[in-house]
Amino acid sequence: MKKRIFASACLALSCLVGSTNGASPESRLQALDITLAQGNAPVANYVSAVRTGNLIFLAGHLPKREDGSLVTGKLGQDLSTEEGYTAARLTAIALIGTLKSELGELGKVKRIVKVSGMVNASADYTEHSKVINGCSDLIVDVFGDRGRHARVACGYSSLPLNAAVEIDLIVEVE
């Protein structure tokens, strides 16, 4: 029952917010009461974003709370699907923040091409796609039809720093 209520609430919010009515991505973020942080510095030998032609490839991002702490744990063991959804949503906020840092303004996004979602999951966990919906739903809420994307959602036995999820994006820009 709890999962059904959660899914219904997410769908209702997506329907309300997903209607863009010509609003800019920045104004949609404001309506969602989301403040973007500056893009985080990489923790290893890589860059957060690479642009080639009209594509930007964003490196994998992890779910960080507003206080900077990382959402950790294994789905199906330490975390519920709902907690994983929230972690994926936090990761989407971080990805959008990096994208804004890279572009200056989100209106330059022509299309979110692909989302690749990795879920730190127990061997018997099967709701990976429901977790990564946390990212996909927010991206569509912010970018409208330009946010509709191809996607992969896979389970892994571990992720860096024991993060609950790691997500990367491919984005077409002007």
- Structural domain boundaries in the chain: 2-173
Q: Comparing C-alpha atoms, which of 101, 81, 75, 95 is closest to residue 136?
A: 95
pTM of the model: 0.87
Tens-place pLDDT, residues 55-80: 999 999 999 999 999 999 999 999 99
Is there a contact between 171 and 111 (Cβ–Cβ < 8 Å)? yes
CB atoms within 10 A of CB 169: 24
| Residue 146, number of CB atoms within 10 A of its CB | 19
CATH 3.40.640.10 fits 2-173, yes or no: no
**pLDDT exceeds cutoff 70 at 17:** no
Report residue 35's pLDDT band, with 50, 70 and 90 as the boundaries.
very high
Work out the mean pLDDT of the chain and round it to a whole number: 90
> How far apart (Å, rounded) are the C-alpha atoms in residues 86 and 30?
18
The three-class DSSP label of residue 174 is coil
- Dihedrals phi, psi of 53, to nearest 5 degrees: 60, -125
Per-residue pLDDT tens over the stretch 138-174: 999 999 999 999 999 999 999 999 999 999 999 999 9
Mean pLDDT over 109-132 rounds to 98
Which whole number is the average pLDDT over 20-49? Answer: 87
Contact at 8 Å (CB) between 152 and 116?
yes
> What pLDDT does 44 receive?
87
